[in-house]
Amino acid sequence: MTPRFDCIGLVVADMPASLAFYRRLGLDIPASADELPHVEHALEGGLRLLWDTDEVHASFDPGADLPKGPGRVGRATLGFACADAGEVDRVYGELVEAGYAGHLRPWDAVWGQRYATVLDPDGNAVDLFAPLGR
């Protein structure tokens, strides 16, 4: 058997804060999930997005030195496709206005997309993008 890419996992310091951020990006996560230490959300195409609290992660990897908080950017990013350039600007502005850290303000990238990056509550980079001219 060949391994199959199945999920993306996030380790989070504050589950309700993290889930609230991703709900703002359109993920339909029930409010009852805020109280859970592990949450899974099925994405289109069969992938899953997983959240584990710091405590859950420490239970199986007690020596991990996890970076903490907004302002640090890790080596992985999550990308959300927007309908058009205006939606990139609107969503970025709404998230920053709601108190999330803007990392890269919207700009027209040389590869033909409107692009922006905001940080989730744990400092994970979340890219917003759409083709230019749409």
Tell me what pLDDT residue 85 has. 95
The answer to whether the beta carbons of residues 24 and 94 sit under 8 Å apart is: yes
Which has the closest alpha carbon to 107: 88, 79, 80, 87? 88
Q: pLDDT tens for the chain, 134 residues: list them.
A: 776 878 899 989 899 999 999 999 999 999 999 999 999 999 989 999 999 898 888 887 777 777 766 655 565 678 899 999 999 999 999 999 999 999 899 999 988 999 999 989 988 889 999 999 75
Strand partners for 127: 79, 117
| DSSP symbols for 73-95 | --S-EEEEE-SSHHHHHHHHHHH
Helix ranges (H only) for 10-122 are 15-24, 54-60, 85-97
pTM reported for the whole predicted model: 0.81
Tell me what pLDDT residue 94 has. 97
How many whole angstroms separate alpha carbon 55 and alpha carbon 132? Answer: 42
Tell me what pLDDT residue 64 has. 73
Measured CA to CA in angstroms, residue 84 lies from 68, 96, 100, 115, 132 at distances of 33, 19, 22, 10, 7
